[in-house]
């Protein structure tokens, strides 16, 4: 019960939710979360209590923010292009490997 792991709410009974953490279900208390939580929502769990409801939009927003950070390097920057090239090469190698594994 540590590290504030995010999980998906499966059921709710009074002030307790059954939450799915990547396939493992646990019971989590809801007294501390400041929004209404519904089955299907994601929550951040810490020592058995939900401390925050995480919205899908916020997750996508964060990922977009990281992409921005990477794109902020100027186009004239050769090194950044190098890195982007390496990222793409690694990504396609991964995709290739995954396809191969299937």
Partner 1 sequence: MRKLIERVFLGGVTRDAADMDDGAAIPVGDKWLIVTTDSHVIQPIVFPGGDIGRLSVAGTVNDLAMMGATDPLGLTCGIVLEEGFAIDELERLQASIRTTCEEAGTTIVAGDTKVMHRGEVDGLVINTSGVALTRRVVRDRGLQPGDAVIVTGTVGDHGMAVMAARHQFQFEEALRSDVAPLNGLIRAALNAAGTGITAMKDPTRGGVASALHEMAEKAGVSILLREDAIPIRPPVRAAAELLGIDPLFIANEGKALIGVRPEYANVLLRVLHAHPLGRDAAIIGSCLAEMPGTIMLDTGFGRRLVSEPDGELLPRIC
Partner 2 sequence: MRSEAARELKFRDPARAAALAARLQQTVRQIGRSPVAVMHVCGSHEQAIARYGLRSAFPKDLDVIMGPGCPVCITDQPEVDEAIALARQGIRVATYGDMLRVPGTAASLADVQAEGARIDVVYSVTQAVEIARASSEPLVFFATGFETTAVATAAAMLGDPPSNFFVLSAHKYIPPVMEIVSEMPDSRVEGFLAAGHAATITGWGVFEEFVVRHQVPVVVAGFEPLDILAALVRLVELVRDRSRAVDNMFPRCVTREGNVAAQKQLWKVFRPIGGRWRGIAHVPNGNLRLRDEWSHMDARRNFTIDLAAVWEGAPSLLSQQCICGDIMAGVKSPTDCRLFGHECLPDNPIGACMVSTEGTCRIWHEYNVRDQRSAVVGPAARATARAEAGGQR
Residue ranges binding partner 1 (CB under 8 A): 1-3, 5, 18, 21-27, 47
User: Is residue 37 close enough to count as binding partner 2 by CB under 8 A?
Assistant: no
52 lines the binding site for partner 2 (CB under 8 A)? yes
In the complex with partner 1, the residue whose CB is nearer, 48 or 61, is 48
CA 32 vs. chain centroid, Å, equals 21
Alpha carbon distance 14, 10 (integer Å): 13
> From the list 66, 75, 98, 99, which residue makes contact with partner 2 (rule: CB under 8 A)?
66
Contact 2, 48 (CB under 8 A): no
53-63 burial: b if 16+ Cβ within 10 Å, else e: bbeeeeeeeee
Q: Who contacts 31 (Cβ-Cβ below 8 Å, separation ≥6)?
A: 15, 49
- The residues binding partner 2 (CB under 8 A) are 1-4, 8, 20, 22-23, 29, 31-34, 44, 46-49, 51-52, 54-55, 58-59, 61-63, 65-66, 69-70, 73, 77-80, 82-84, 86-87, 90-91, 94
């Amino acid at each position: 019960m540590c590290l504030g792991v995010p999980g998906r709410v499966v059921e709710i009974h009074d002030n307790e939710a059954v939450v799915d953490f990547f396939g493992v279900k646990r019971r989590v208390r809801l007294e501390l979360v400041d929004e209404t939580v519904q089955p299907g929502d994601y929550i951040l769990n810490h020592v058995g209590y939900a401390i925050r409801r995480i919205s899908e939009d916020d997750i996508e927003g964060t990922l977009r923010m990281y992409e921005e950070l990477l794109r902020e390097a100027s186009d004239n920057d050769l090194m950044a292009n190098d890195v982007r090239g390496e990222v793409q090469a690694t990504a396609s190698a991964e995709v290739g490997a995954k396809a191969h594994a299937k």
